[in-house]
Amino acid sequence: MTRADAILEVDALERRFDVSAPWLNRMLENKPRRTLRAVDGVDFAIPRGRTLALVGESGCGKSTIAKLVTGLYPPSDGAIRFHGDRDRVQMIFQDPYASLNPRWRVGRIIAEPLRTLRPDTTDAEAEARVAELLGIVGLSPTDAAKYPHAFSGGQRQRISIARALAGEPEFLVCDEPTSALDVSVQAQVLNLMKRLQREFGLTYLFISHDLSVVRHMADEIAVMYLGRIVELQPTADLFANPLHPYTRMLLDTIPDLERPNRNRSPMRGEVPSPIAPPPGCSFHPRCPLANDRCRTERPSRQERVLSGRVACFAAEEGRT
Amino acid sequence: MTDTVLDVRDLRVEFPTRRGLLTALDGVSLSIRRGEILGVVGESGAGKSMTGMAILGLLEPPGRIAGGAIHLSGDRIDTLAEPAMEKVRGRRIGAIFQDPLTSLNPLFRVGDQLIETIRLHTELTREQAAERALGLLREVGIPAPEDRMNSYPHQFSGGMRQRVVIALALCAEPELIVADEPTTALDVSIQAQITALLRQLCTDRGTAVMLVTHDMGVIAETADRVAVMYAGRLVETGPVDDVVRRPQHPYTVGLMGSIPGLRRDVEELSMIPGSMPRLDAIPPGCAFNPRCDHAGPRCRREAPRVAGEGAACWLAMEGTTA
């Protein structure tokens, strides 16, 4: 898959983790080697200046993709092609309490990527830039002299964003950036991120478990289940016409403030262990449309339907 | 009203500290009827969990109830001494917390924990208790409950563990269940299973439920009535549909507007400027007044109180803030 305007292309990406018992146990107790396929053949592309969201439940591999794209993990297989400056990738993490060094003043935290990017920056230049960045994210220039503990969760996430911007990024990987925040604070941070995207032409890979947040932020949405993308569609299409039975179940399950449904039927079963995923389509044990083909054959990731794509035999064959 | 299970009147909770007296809860009044789910919603630090803990008699010292009264089916429980309160907890009030692992002992089989809890609160024999434990596991939807009686907590998934905790809370058939963020640690698909289970238990058994959560979506789909809290005070109470569709208090209006919708398309989410005050810096008058667009002189002078249903807001109550 190639797109002329893509800033990031990911092809058949795989990441396996060895989760075997220690060597001695394997020898003495005859335990087998075990592999966890956290990311199992994923591809997508993100056009410049746009937002692609990865959604899914815990353990679906979305955070592993964030770490692969930013280079924190090497891929086991597949390719990540970045059509831009590799140094201009920054990341915003979920936990604003763990991602800021508590012993550094905010000014030093924000200036760090700046000094890495431009080692010849003078102290006065760095100070001016930090003040400017603090202003951009809605904090005061005097906050540079404070330590992270003096700030609330939402303010810390603003500091994380200012630090990311200091690296003059083209591309930002945001891993659950608002999940630890209260809704009113989440709204402030989401609005800030949208404004910065407009002003600086940023590209976002936005990772979240919250479909309503993703709907607000993303141009395209990829739904993940057990390490694979089961469906990828433009946001409006995904909500208007979900193709994969898992997407439909997710949309059926999330509480809807505007049209609450007290009698909705909850999804059956739970996500199986990614160490021993079911054969065929890994969603088949929970799928109302599964037949023998789904239980044995694995749907390919490239079935193109309308504007998006879906990995589902039922959708492909028109079974409903 | 004979079917009122929980009645909290003018509850005030204080924490004496070196820097002075902090008022964590101020004038909180709410009630729950048999078979009713009351949602208590608010952001971190609003006092929603504190309210649950005060009802359970589990306030961390030096926190103390400094005013008001809590009645459970007509019996006053806030003045009970700890040994008497211990009997109320578990027998008459069940508790479900966010992390199921804190409620389960990792060293004991799930069946034994249930049997022990049942025998602690009732006169049943071990065999009868085992029978009820099995029935409870079946009722909360644990598959193959006969086998699972012998499993340890770590052998259950997060959703299944929370079901076991619900079974544990139901052991003595309590009149009231306090559920503090019971679905927050769970994925959406499992979250829906747990809220559906709570609703069903509430209908089948007539248990009153106080559902404490930060998630307005969960409240909208689970609760019958809702109480919105801000800075240790109640700002609005009412039937869930009214509060969600036609919020009266400016804080509730702002809160609802800041939630990204599933149908509504907006470029910008509405924001409430600033943040909730800390307990040692609650402004005089209405606690929300510095962040409120409609604040007038009266809001800065006098704290509005809501008795029963409605919004604790001078504008909503009197039509003016002068």
Average pLDDT over chain A, rounded to an integer: 89
Interface contact flag, B221 A152, Cβ < 8 Å: no
Return the amino acid letter for A103.
Answer: R
Nearest Cα of chain A lies from the Cα of B150 at a distance, in angstroms, of 21
Determine whether the interchain pair A253/B217 forms a contact, defined as Cβ–Cβ distance below 8 Å: no
Nearest to B313 by CA among B229, B250, B258, B256: B250
Q: What ipTM, to 2 d.p.?
A: 0.81
Please, are residues B171 and B207 in contact by the beta-carbon 8 Å criterion? no
**Beta strand A6-18 pairing with A89-92:** unpaired
From the list B159, B218, B258, the residue facing A255 with the nearest CB is B218
The answer to whether the Cβ–Cβ distance between B189 and A259 falls below 8 Å is no
Could you tell me if A256 lies within 8 Å of chain B, comparing CB atoms? yes
CATH architecture, domain defined by B4-92+172-318: 3-Layer(aba) Sandwich (3.40)
Which backbone phi and psi does B239 adopt, to 5 degrees?
A: -60, 145
Indicate the SS3 state at residue A70. coil
pLDDT tens digits along A91-115? 998 888 889 999 999 999 999 999 9
Nearest to B43 among A184, A213, A250 (CB): A184
pLDDT reported for residue A1:
46
**Confidence band for A316, pLDDT divided at 50, 70 and 90:** confident
| Tokens representing residue B33 in the block | 């009827």
Partners of residue B76 on adjacent β-strands: B71
Using the Cβ of A266 and the Cβ atoms of chain B, whether some distance falls under 8 Å is answered with: yes
- Extract the runs of DSSP E, i.e. beta strands, from chain A: 6-18, 35-47, 51-55, 77-82, 89-92, 171-175, 203-208, 220-225, 228-234, 304-305, 308-310
- pLDDT per position in chain B (322 positions), as tens? 568 999 999 999 999 988 889 999 999 999 999 999 999 999 888 999 999 999 999 998 899 999 999 999 999 999 999 999 999 998 999 999 888 888 899 999 999 999 999 999 989 999 999 999 999 999 888 888 999 999 999 988 888 899 999 999 999 889 999 999 998 888 888 888 889 889 988 899 999 999 999 999 899 999 999 999 999 999 999 999 999 999 999 999 999 989 888 877 788 888 888 888 888 889 999 999 999 999 999 999 999 988 778 999 999 888 888 7
- Taking only residues 203 to 242 of chain A, the set having a beta carbon closer than 8 angstroms to any beta carbon of chain B reads 209, 211-213, 215-216, 239
Judge: B217–A256 Cβ closer than 8 Å, yes or no: yes
- Chain B residues whose CB is inside 8 A of the A267 CB are 189, 192-193
Q: Which residues of A touch B260 (CB under 8 A)?
A: 187, 190, 212-213, 215-216
Partner residue facing A187 (CB), from B244, B263, B269 = B269
Q: How far, in Å, are A83, B62, B308 from residue B100 at the CA level? A: 46, 26, 33
- Residues A306, A290: Cα–Cα separation, whole Å: 22
What radius of gyration do chain A's Cα atoms show? 21
> What pLDDT was estimated at residue B273?
84
Task: Say yes or no: A191 contacts chain B, CB-CB below 8 A.
Answer: yes
CA-to-CA dists, residue B284 to A246, B290, B298, angstroms: 51, 10, 10
Q: B189 vs A270: CB contact, 8 Å cut-off?
A: yes
Outline where chain B has alpha helix (H). Answer: 48-56, 82-91, 100-103, 110-121, 126-139, 145-148, 158-170, 188-205, 216-222, 240-245, 250-257, 297-301, 314-318
Q: What is the pLDDT of residue A208?
A: 94
Cβ contacts from A onto B, under 8 A = 118
Which of A220, A276, A267, A221 is closest to A246 using CA atoms?
Answer: A267
Residue B25 sits at φ, ψ, to 5 deg, of -130, 140
Model confidence pLDDT, tens digit, residues B32-67: 999 999 999 998 889 999 999 999 999 988 999 999
Measured between beta carbons, the chain A residues lying within 8 angstroms of B185 are none
pLDDT digits (tens, 9 = 90+) for A102-148: 999 999 999 999 998 889 999 999 999 999 999 999 889 999 999 99
Cβ of B275 and A154 within 8 Å? yes
Chain B environment of A194 (Cβ under 8 Å): 267-268
| pLDDT given for residue B279 in this prediction | 85
Asked if A183 reaches chain B (Cβ–Cβ under 8 Å), the answer is yes
Q: A interface mutation test: which of B140, B189, B215 has the most A CBs within 10 A?
A: B189
Percent of chain A, pLDDT > 70? Answer: 95
- How many Å lie between the alpha carbon of B23 and the closest alpha carbon of chain A? 21
The length of chain B, given as a count of residues: 322
DSSP-derived letter for residue B197 is H
| pTM for this model (two decimals) | 0.87
| Contact check, Cβ <8 Å, A209/B187 | yes
**Pick from A154, A184, A259: CB nearest B254:** A184
> Between A187 and A304, where is the model more confident?
A187
**What pLDDT score does A302 carry?**
60
The chain B residue lying nearest A192, using CA atoms, is: B268
Question: Chain A: nearest CA to B78, how far in angstroms?
Answer: 31
CB distance B271–A186 less than 8 Å?
Answer: no
Q: Which of A187, A239, A261 sits opposite B271 (nearest CB)?
A: A187
Torsion angles phi and psi, residue B169, rounded to 5: -70, -25
> Could you tell me if A192 lies within 8 Å of chain B, comparing CB atoms?
no
